[in-house]
Amino acid sequence: MSRAIFFDLDGTLTDSGPGIINCAQLALAHFGIQVPDRDQLRVFVGPPLRQSFARFGVPPASLDEAIARFRARYVPIGKFENTPYPGIAGLLDRLQGAGYRLFVATSKPQVTAQEVLEHFQLARYFERVCGASLDAGRETKEDVISYLLAQIGDLGQVVMVGDTAFDVLGAKVHGIPTIGVTWGYGQVEAMREAGAAALADTPEQLEALLHTPGVFSPAPPQALP
């Protein structure tokens, strides 16, 4: 039976925090919102931008403008203020060689995710990269996973790998367990409370968990597009 792994991107495969935080800070400043402690902006890494800007006080009517200002810097510059985590390329290479089917499920816009993976020569490991749409039609991790499931048919068994509670909860809606990684931007306790099946502190620990019997669950029925 085939085994599929859905990887989150930001905070899981690459450390995209510097670029995201720089762009979030710029967009918030446009609305007069100053956040002196950059560490507070770490919450922008992973969740949909709409949720994060609202959290920092951007009015609902201005959320689209905030996202546009974020992307105006992120698309040409911010997306490359980013580095793969140490050990990730080797991990993906070994998993692919062992016969696992690898996919990306990210809340980052799909076109940007593909560009980032190609830039860092990681795209070749994945059968399909699925991300958010540029409009509001496919935004949350739940939406992205639903769309991905609709594209790829029979998976056999599947597990999610991500660094935030959003990954855990989005996968749980589809009956997919999540291994949380602690090197990213999410909170370990939040992932645990959301129901993460296991936690990994290093890519080596993640690899060992992925080889552990019982960590994968039967894939959910194919979702509608």
Q: Beta partners for 58?
A: none
Residue partners of 144: CB distance under 8 A and separation at least 6: 105, 106, 107, 130, 131, 132, 138, 170
Q: Beta partners for 61?
A: none
| Rounded distance between C-alpha atoms, residue 4 and residue 206, angstroms | 14
| Rounded distance between C-alpha atoms, residue 70 and residue 22, angstroms | 9
| Rounded distance between C-alpha atoms, residue 69 and residue 71, angstroms | 5
Helix (H, G, I), strand (E, B) or coil at 162: strand
Identify whether 163 is a catalytic site residue.
no
Catalytic residue numbers, as ranges: 8
